[in-house]
Amino acid sequence: MAIYTNLYLLVFLPVVLIVYQLAPKKARWGVLLAASYALYISFSKYLVLLLMATSAFTWGIGLWLDKIGEACKAKQAECTDRKQKSEVKKEFQKKRVLALRVGVLVLLGILFYVNYLNFVIDNMNIFLGKLGTQLPLVKVMFPMGISFYTLEAVGYIADVYWERYPAEKHLGRLALFLSFFPQIMEGPIARYPDTSEALFAGEPLNMANLNEGFLRIIWGLFKKMVVSDRLSYLTTHLFGNYQDYHGSFIVLAAIAYTIQLYLEFSGSIDIVIGSGKLFGVTLPENFNQPFSAQSAAEFWRRWHMSLGNWFKNYVFYPITVSPMVKNWNKTARKKYGKYWSMVGTSAMALFPVWVATGVWHGAGWKYLFYGMYYFVILLFGVAMEPIKEKNYAKMGLDPNARWLKILRILKTWVIIFTGELFFNAVNLKAGFHMFFSIFGNFHISSLWKYWPNVITTGDVWAICVGSVIVWIVGFLKEHGVDVRGKILNARTPYKWSVYYLIIFAILLFGAYGTGYQPVDLIYAGF
């Protein structure tokens, strides 16, 4: 039962809302947890046991860390001087590190087993085949949302280890945080303090939240069903038959897939955030007009923000302040100066982040390449930063000039489209084939001469008009005009006119019914 289906929107969600409202305040978190497990069972059946076991394990590690912390404080209270206290702290720190390692390794170990073991075996078999032997592949069932809830669980354990907040004593509360039904398929990846209070509070439903949630859900459906799902027929055809196309068609494939992915993923996140809002739970935002970014680094601060923040908080910063990187930094500053030590430190911290970001999306060389592609671009951006500033000053250019901003945005678009071309290619080899075939025989006129018969003129119109509407709303938000807020604050007749307009647009122009297949959520597969 995916979150864009009639079953979810017209049956599951209303039933959960009614039961939640009817339940006593103290039991409402239980309603949400039961609903979350019910939705999870509809996808992954008995693998719900793995989700439950992960929750119990994460909870146990948290309590273990807290217990070590309390024992440390008790022993420190018996100490008479600072030196003794520091020695006690060191002694208990070893135990805390052990608890952290056990927690993180088990959680990531399960993720590795599910997502990457067969990829590793496949690649090992290439070499082993030459020696006349082969390793058998492992039969693995895919537990829905494992890439999302594992990161949330690791983040929780790390935060408790760093004493950013105390461990959760209530198992149900942590289990609900990890399994909350709107989030389980595609995120956003939350931190424990982001949602735990509201999830457990059991506040009654109210009109403001219902209005906000409803508008967000229908807006998400509009993005997904009117634009993204229609585009998917074109991109599936172009990427699937890439050898038949070159030049302008490959550029079209890259641009169309980027728009499809953005509207599909951000649309689904709108449905997720809207669903949360109905219950008064504010989930973290995942997108902030990513196509207004003026650099690749800024793009990643605006695109899949919850994943970017997770890697920044739990990989990038810990590596930056790790003893190894710090020692290197100190030596490099003396030997090579501030600039090169900064570039080197950035490289050391960015490399693991982008290897992880790449493979988080899936087991495949194309995903690793995707990560490395952004690693090189971001590192180049860091290295060029001081030079760029000097060049602007030398040439007498104002870096904030409008035309320069537009040029930077266009440059960022080229980087994004190229990245998504490799991301969605059948495999890495196909990605390179498609990329190089752009430059041979490039004719814009091929687009209308050899237009594939997979989408109609009506589809093209719906895609273009829908994209323009989404772009206008995003453009206004970027310039400080909150269209959603204005609709919600408008008088009831105006507000409902907009609701009806969006609903009719989905009913009339949405890609469903005869001739259309339901399009799966892209990020739910990661």
As a whole number of angstroms, the distance between CA 381 and CA 342 comes to: 12
Q: Shortest Cβ distance from residue 332 to another protein (Å)?
A: 10
Which lies closer to another protein via its Cβ, residue 317 or residue 494? 317
Backbone phi, psi, residue 444, to 5°: -60, -35
Nearest Cα to 357, choosing from 414, 413, 307, 407?
307
Which lies closer to another protein via its Cβ, residue 338 or residue 429? 338
Which lies closer to another protein via its Cβ, residue 289 or residue 313? 313
Nearest Cα to 176, choosing from 197, 161, 155?
197
Which lies closer to another protein via its Cβ, residue 125 or residue 288? 288
As a whole number of angstroms, the distance between CA 300 and CA 309 comes to: 9
Site of interaction with another protein (CB under 8 A) = 162-164, 297, 301, 312-313, 316-318, 320-322, 326, 329-330, 333, 338, 341-342, 345-346, 349, 382, 385
- Would you tell me the crossing angle of helices 192-201 and 171-179 to the nearest 10 degrees? 110
Q: Shortest Cβ distance from residue 173 to another protein (Å)?
A: 22
Q: Shortest Cβ distance from residue 319 to another protein (Å)?
A: 9
Q: Which amino acid is at 271?
A: I
Nearest Cα to 302, choosing from 401, 184, 412, 400?
412
Nearest Cα to 54, choosing from 124, 159, 148?
148
Q: Shortest Cβ distance from residue 345 to another protein (Å)?
A: 5
DSSP 397: -
Which lies closer to another protein via its Cβ, residue 330 or residue 405? 330
Q: Shortest Cβ distance from residue 257 to another protein (Å)?
A: 28
Q: Which parts of 296-401 fold into alpha helices (H)?
A: 296-302, 305-311, 317-320, 323-336, 338-360, 365-395
Which lies closer to another protein via its Cβ, residue 172 or residue 352? 352
Which lies closer to another protein via its Cβ, residue 317 or residue 500? 317
Q: Shortest Cβ distance from residue 442 to another protein (Å)?
A: 37
Which lies closer to another protein via its Cβ, residue 172 or residue 318? 318
Q: Which two tokens stand for residue 483?
A: 């269209």
Q: Shortest Cβ distance from residue 446 to another protein (Å)?
A: 41
Q: How many residues does the chain have?
A: 526
As a whole number of angstroms, the distance between CA 24 and CA 309 comes to: 36
Contact by Cβ (8 Å): 189, 152: yes
Q: Which two tokens stand for residue 225?
A: 């069903």
Q: Shortest Cβ distance from residue 346 to another protein (Å)?
A: 6
Which lies closer to another protein via its Cβ, residue 345 or residue 357? 345
Contact by Cβ (8 Å): 186, 144: no
Q: Shortest Cβ distance from residue 216 to another protein (Å)?
A: 23
Residues in contact with 343: Cβ distance below 8 Å, sequence separation at least 6, in sequence order:
379, 382, 383
Handedness of CA 16, 17, 19, 21 (dihedral sign): positive
